[in-house]
Amino acid sequence: MSEIWFMPACEIARRVRKKELSPVDVMQAALARIEAVNPTLNALVAMRPDAALAEARAQADRIARGEDPGPLAGLPLGVKDLEDAAGLPTTYGSLPFKDNQPARDSAQVTRLKAAGAIVLGKTNAPEFGYTALTKNLVYGVTRNPWNPARTPGGSSGGSAAAIASGMLPLATSSDGGGSIRIPACFVGAFGLKPNFGRVPTGPRKMLHWSDTAVYGPITRTVRDAALYMDAVVGAHPSDPDSLPHPGYSYADMIEALPRRRRIAFNPSLGYATVQHDVMREVEAAVQVFRDLGHHVVVTHDTLPDLGIEWATVSGAEVYAEIADEIEMHRSQFGRGFLAGIERAKEISAAHMGRMYRLRAQLNQAIAELFERFDLLLTPTLPIEAFSAAGPFPTEINGQPIATPLGAVAFTYPFNFSGHPAATVRAGMTDAGLPCGLQIVAPRHREDLVLQAAYAYEQARPWNHEWPLSVTQSSEA
C-alpha cells in the first residue's frame, strides 16, 4: 500500500483506468495512511470510510464492465471544510455551525465526483478561513507533516497537510488572500490560485460581492493540478461570476511553455522583508528560468501595499454573511475571529471608496508590469512555517515586521488584482522546512502559470521528497 501514498494523482488515475490498480486498493491505502498519521496531523476532521469504500467497489465493478470511470478515476478526495459535500458536515471551523449538514455537493465537488474522484472526508480549516494558520474551536490544531510543531498554514491547511503527508492524492482548497499558496508553500506542495471565476463556487446562501476568493487545487505535481482544473472549470448556473470553459485542456498544454519568455523577478514588491535562507532558495529557483533560456530581469518596482484594505474588504463580506448568527451565538465564536470581522461594522461608503481607489492603483501598477513582462516571480512567503498554534511571527531576520500583513506579504496582492498565481517548492530552509517561489501571470492565463511551473518542475525535480515518517516534535 505504501507505494500508493505519494504516487502522483495523475498516475493513480491512469493505472485505475488501465485496470492496473483497483479503486478499492487505492482507498484502502489512503485509509491506512490516515490511520497512521492523521492522529498527529489532524488534517482530516470528518470521514466517511465505509461509504467511500463502497463507492470504490462500485467503481471497480463499472470498470470491469468496460465503463469509463473518468479522468480522476479512483482518487480519494478531501473537501475543505468551507465547502459542501453531501453526507458530511460543513462546519466552517465554527462552533455555531458544528451540526450544519448540507443537502448537496458544491458545484466543484459535483464535477470532481463526476470525473471519478471519491469523497473520503473533510479537511480542517480556520474559522471561516480567516487566518493563515489552521486551528479552530471545533476540531483543534492542524500540523505540518515536515515538523508537527509547525503550522501547515491556512486557510487550506488541512488539505495541504493531507496532500504532503500522503493521506490523500487530491483535495479541494480555496484562496481569498493566499489560502492555497500559503499552505502549499509551507508543506512544499504545488498550489494554484486561478483567476476569479475560473472555478465556479456555490450554491451559496448569499452571493458574494467581492472578487478575491477562488477555488483551486493543492497537489503534489503540476500535472495533477492541470488534471484537476480540467475537471472543474467552466461556467455554472449557481455562480453568476463563473467564466466560460477556456476551450482547451490544461493537461494537454502544460508542456508547451513558449521559449524566451520575458520574466520579472521582484524580491520584495517594494515593502517585504524576506528570511535570509528563504531568499537563498528562491534566488536558486529563479536561476532555473535563466538556465532554461528565458530573459529574467530583477525588478524593484513598488506595488501599493493594500494588506489592511484587503483584510477589511474580506472581513466585511464574512460579517455580512453571518451577522445574524453572531448576535445569537456570540460566545461560541473564536475571539480573534470575532474581533477581526466586527470591525466591518465601522466601514462606511467613504471607506470603501478610498479602498477601491487604492485597489485601482494596484491594478494599474500590475497592468504596467505585464506590459513589459510575460511572467512575474516572487517569493511565495517571506518566512518558513511557524508554530502550529501560533502566534504569527513578529520579526524577520531579527527585525520587526514593518507592515501589518508582512508575514504573508506576497500573496494577497494577487487576490486583490485577480491575477492567477501559483507556488512551487523553491527548496528547504536551514530548519528543514519547505519554502516557495510564486509564479504570477496576466489575467486568465492559468495555462501560462501551469506551463512555467511544469517547466520548472521538470528542470528541478522536487516532488519525490516527502515526509514519509510523521512524528510529534519535541517543539510541539
Helical residues (DSSP H) of 304-463, grouped into ranges: 307-329, 335-342, 349-372, 413-417, 446-459
Could you confirm whether 80 is annotated as catalytic? yes
Considering 179, 242, 314, 417, which one is annotated as catalytic? 179
CB-based contact 214:174 (threshold 8 Å):
yes
Active site residue 113: no
From the list 80, 113, 122, 135, the catalytic residue is: 80
Work out the burial of residue 283: count CB atoms within 10 Å of its CB; fewer than 13 is exposed, 13-18 middle, 19 or more buried.
middle
**Residue 414 CB partners (closer than 8 Å, separation 6+):** 193, 420, 421, 440
Q: Which residue blocks in 89-178 are alpha helix, DSSP H?
A: 107-114, 157-164
| 72 vs 14: CA distance, rounded Å | 8
Q: Per the structure block, which three cell numbers stand in for 2?
A: 505504501
For the chain, helix (H) and strand (E) counts, in that order, are 15, 15
Residue 115 CA to residue 232 CA, distance in Å, equals: 9
Give the Cα separation of 135 and 392 in Å (integer). Answer: 13
The C-alpha cell that represents 376 in the structure block: 512575474
122 in catalytic set? no
Contact 69, 16 (CB under 8 A): yes
What are the CA-CA distances from residue 174 to residues 80, 108, 297, 303 (Å)? 8, 11, 31, 24
Q: Which amino acid is at 19?
A: K
Residue 419 neighbours by CB under 8 Å, 6+ apart: 195, 366, 440, 441, 442, 443
> How far is 67 from 426, CA to CA, in rounded Å?
41
Per-residue cell: 242: 463563473
Parallel/antiparallel/unpaired status of strands 421-428 and 434-440: antiparallel
Options 22, 94, 106, 155, the catalytic residue: 155
Task: Give the active site residues.
Answer: 80, 155, 179
